[in-house]
Amino acid sequence: FEELCLTEESAVKEVTQAYKSAGAQLLKTNTFNAVRPKLLKSGIQDLLPKILKKSVEITKDVAGEDAYVLGAIGPLGVVVEPLGPTSLQEAEEQFAENIKIFDAEGVDAILFVAFHDFSELEAGLKAAQRETKKPIFVQIGLQENLTTSFGNSLEELVSLSDKYDIEVIGVSGEIGPSRCLAAVEKLRAITSKILFISPNAGLPRYVNDEYIYMCNPDYMGKFAKRFVQAGANIIGGHSGVHEPH
pLDDT tens figures, 29-64: 999 999 999 999 999 999 999 999 999 999 999 999
Identify the helix (H) or strand (E) that includes residue 68: strand 68-73
Instruction: Give the pTM.
Output: 0.94
Q: Is the pLDDT of residue 77 over 90?
A: yes
Q: Is the pLDDT of residue 245 over 60?
A: no
pLDDT score, position 142: 97
Q: Is the pLDDT of residue 169 over 80?
A: yes
Between the CA of residue 207 and those of 24, 28, 36, 204, 243, what are the distances in Å? 30, 28, 32, 9, 15
pLDDT score, position 83: 86
Count CB-CB contacts under 10 A for residue 151.
12
pLDDT score, position 212: 85
> % helix / strand / coil in the chain, to the nearest 5?
45, 20, 40
Using pLDDT thresholds of 50, 70 and 90, give the confidence band for residue 244: very low
Residue pair 229/197 in contact (Cβ under 8 Å)? The answer is no
pLDDT score, position 75: 97
pLDDT score, position 124: 98
Distance of CA 163 to the CA centre of its chain: 20
Residue 123 phi, psi (nearest 5): -60, -40
